[in-house]
Amino acid sequence: MATVSITNLHKSFGRTSNPIRAVDGLSVDIANGEFFVILGPSGAGKTTTLKSVAGLVDIDEGTIDIGGRDVTRVEPYHRNVAMAFESYALYPQKTVRENLASPLKSGRTGQYTESQRAERIHQVTTTLGINHLLDRFPRELSNGQRQRVALGRVLVRPADIYLLDEPLSHLDAKLRAAMRAELKQLGAMSNTTTLYVTHDYQEALALGDRIAVMRKGRLVQIGTPADIWRRPADTFVARALGQPEINLLDGVVDDGRIRLGDGSFDVPIPADAHSDCSRGDRVRVGLRPCDIHVVGPDVDGAGIRGRVVLAERLGRNVELTVDAGGVQLIVLTSGRDGVTEGATVTLTVADSDIHVFAAGDGDTPRLGLPDRASLLEAAQ
């Protein structure tokens, strides 16, 4: 186990006159034994950050500290990290057993006896569900099995840090869900510091002790899964988590409430945003589909009245598109309400589930939070 400290990391690619900034001033401290997830879209700088920690790219500026030792200019071999890439990195001429044993036969791990190697391989392959594949070659495996073997090659090797670059991206949805649970168990068992990169918000929420959301080479927010979900720092973070995506509606503040759509319905201003809202201010309101509840068809009383335009069954859930005050709300229900297309419904949402952001185009900050620099500094 080891702590990881990244300070003011900069890395650019391309021409000197017009470089592409992959990572732009990233700083973060990762605790001993922490499962830390970096979440972001393609091109955010996630993999470059991971490779910088591994020593696979030369950084332009900044420092990287592992276990209290500055390794900024140290060769990858001497950093004692184990990394799994998005693509499979297996020896085609070796069996699964030989692939898994290879990291235990060289360098500082070469002191393991045959029985100790067999024990470590057995433990990892049993957990990953590939113990029956030990005598097969990679060409005889499915893509999902190859991905598990590649992950096993990392986990079988004792290291200060595990660096995992989207290791589940090539698996189908059902297998990804199963592997998330297995990785969670492995993280608890090994207690090894893990830096995990993904674009999948479900992986981030399920696995991470903390999550760092990245955009265009910069950190946007760091926090626990609950923090990121309940209090997204801006509309970018709010949209990054959740499927269907969060509803974002333009509104106007009016006497303690925010009028939305054509003004025919409103929601209360949540307590954390009161200080930043004045009458007449234009804002953006975020309502997650899973937080909007259908009281029932054509129920009188407080709530948002609307008409169901579309109902789509998605397995055990039903996704409703509801026209309310001239705007369309996406609502996720259990499907037990008996709501059908064309029905008039009443919707409710708890005050604590209302997110208020600054008005404007693009990504706008959440109201009621400290400035982003202070927020990131406190999270580190």
For tokens 């696979």, the residue is 56
Q: Where are the strands (E) in the chain, listed by range?
A: 4-13, 20-30, 35-39, 61-66, 69-70, 81-84, 161-165, 193-198, 210-215, 218-223, 247-254, 257-260, 265-268, 282-287, 293-297, 304-314, 317-324, 327-333, 344-348, 354-358
C-alpha 246/C-alpha 235 separation (Å) is 9
What letter represents residue 179's amino acid?
M
Per-residue model confidence (pLDDT) at position 4: 95
Per-residue model confidence (pLDDT) at position 60: 94
| Sheet with strand 265-268: strands edge to edge | 265-268, 257-260, 247-254, 282-287, 354-358
For tokens 């109902």, the residue is 311
Contact indicator for 230, 56 with CB cutoff of 8 Å: no
Mean pLDDT to the nearest integer, 337-356: 89
Helical axes 143-155 vs 173-190, angle rounded to 10°? 10
Peptide bond into 370 cis (omega under 30): no
pLDDT at 14 over 90: no
pLDDT at 147 over 70: yes
**pTM summary value:** 0.88
C-alpha 59/C-alpha 74 separation (Å) is 12
Mean pLDDT to the nearest integer, 117-122: 89
Both tokens of residue 29? 């401290």
Per-residue model confidence (pLDDT) at position 143: 79
Mean pLDDT to the nearest integer, 311-328: 91
Higher pLDDT, residue 336 or 307: 307
Per-residue model confidence (pLDDT) at position 315: 81
pLDDT at 36 over 90: yes
pLDDT at 240 over 80: yes
Q: How many CB atoms lie within 10 A of CB 5?
A: 16
Task: Name the 3-class secondary structure at 364.
Answer: coil
User: For residue 124, what is the enclosing H or E element?
Assistant: helix 114-128
Domains recognised in the chain with CATH numbers: 4-238 (3.40.50.300), 244-370 (2.40.50.140)
Per-residue model confidence (pLDDT) at position 96: 94
Measured CA to CA in angstroms, residue 126 lies from 130, 133, 144, 152 at distances of 6, 11, 15, 10
pLDDT at 302 over 90: no
- DSSP-based helix, strand, coil % in the chain, nearest 5: 30, 35, 35
Task: Name the 3-class secondary structure at 119.
Answer: helix
C-alpha 33/C-alpha 31 separation (Å) is 6
* Dihedral over Cα of 226, 174, 340, 328: its sign: positive
Per residue in 246-281, pLDDT tens? 999 999 999 889 999 898 899 999 988 888 888 899
C-alpha 233/C-alpha 236 separation (Å) is 8
C-alpha 231/C-alpha 214 separation (Å) is 16
**Over the chain, what is the mean pLDDT?**
87
Percentage of the chain with pLDDT > 70?
92
Per residue in 150-200, pLDDT tens? 888 888 888 889 899 988 877 777 777 777 777 777 666 667 899 999 999
